[in-house]
Amino acid sequence: MKYVQFAENRPFDIIMLGRVAIDFNPVDYYKPLSESTTFKKYLGGSPANIAVGMARLGRKVGFLAKVSKDQFGDFVINYFKKEGIDTSHISYCTNGEKLGLTFTEILSETESSILMYRNEAADLQLSVDEIEEDYMKQAKAILISGTALAQSPSREAALKAMSLAKKHNTVIIFDIDYRPYNWKNADEIAIYYSMVAMNSDIILGSREEFDLTQKLIAPGNNDKDTAAFWHKHGAKIVIIKHGKEGSTAYTNDGNQYGIKPFPVKLLKSFGGGDGYASAFLYGLLEGWDMIDCLEFGSASAALLVASHACSEDMPSAAKIQEFIKECKEKYGDMIARV
Ligand X SMILES: O=C(O)C[C@@H](O)[C@H](O)C(=O)COP(=O)(O)O
Ligand Y SMILES: Nc1ncnc2c1ncn2[C@@H]1O[C@H](COP(=O)(O)OP(=O)(O)O)[C@@H](O)[C@H]1O
Q: DSSP characters for 49-114? A: HHHHHHHHTT--EEEEEEE-SSHHHHHHHHHHHHHT---TTEEE-SS--B--EEEEEE-SSS-EEE
Which residues ranging from 161 to 220 are in contact with ligand Y (CB under 6 A)? 206
Binding footprint of ligand X, residue count (CB under 6 A):
16
Does residue 334 contact residue 320 with C-beta atoms inside 8 Å?
no
Q: DSSP characters for 7-35? A: PSS-SEEEEEES--EEEEEESS-SS-GGG
Does residue 73 contact residue 295 with C-beta atoms inside 8 Å?
no
Least distance from C-beta 176 to ligand Y, angstroms?
9
30-35 long-range contacts (CB < 8 A, ≥24 apart) are: 30/106, 30/107, 30/108, 30/109, 31/107, 32/105, 32/107, 33/103, 33/104, 33/105, 33/113, 33/115
Q: Does 300 bind ligand X (CB under 6 A)?
A: no
- Specify the DSSP class assigned to residue 333: T
Q: Which does 310 bind (CB under 5 to 8 A by kind): ligand Y, ligand X, none?
A: ligand X
Least distance from C-beta 199 to ligand Y, angstroms?
21
Least distance from C-beta 280 to ligand X, angstroms?
13
Given the complex with ligand Y, which of 6 and 174 has the nearer CB atom?
174
Least distance from C-beta 268 to ligand X, angstroms?
9
- Specify the DSSP class assigned to residue 46: H
Which residues ranging from 239 to 298 are in contact with ligand Y (CB under 6 A)? 241-244, 246-247, 261-262, 264, 266, 270, 272-273, 276, 298
Q: Which residue is nearest to ligand X (CB)?
A: 44
Among 6, 14, 29, 49, binds ligand X (CB under 6 A): 49
Q: Does 274 bind ligand X (CB under 6 A)?
A: yes
Least distance from C-beta 100 to ligand X, angstroms?
6
**For the CA atoms of the chain, what is the radius of gyration?**
19
Among 6, 15, 20, 23, binds ligand X (CB under 6 A): 23
Which residues ranging from 97 to 136 are in contact with ligand X (CB under 6 A)? 100, 102, 114
Given the complex with ligand X, which of 21 and 249 has the nearer CB atom?
21
Least distance from C-beta 275 to ligand X, angstroms?
7
Given the complex with ligand X, which of 164 and 197 has the nearer CB atom?
197
Q: DSSP characters for 135-204? A: HHTTEEEEEEEGGGGSSTTHHHHHHHHHHHHHHTTPEEEEE----STT---HHHHHHHHHHHHTT-SEEE
User: Applying CB under 6 A, which residues contact ligand X?
Assistant: 19, 21, 23, 44-46, 49, 100, 102, 114, 270-274, 310
User: Applying CB under 6 A, which residues contact ligand Y?
Assistant: 206, 241-244, 246-247, 261-262, 264, 266, 270, 272-273, 276, 298, 301-302, 305
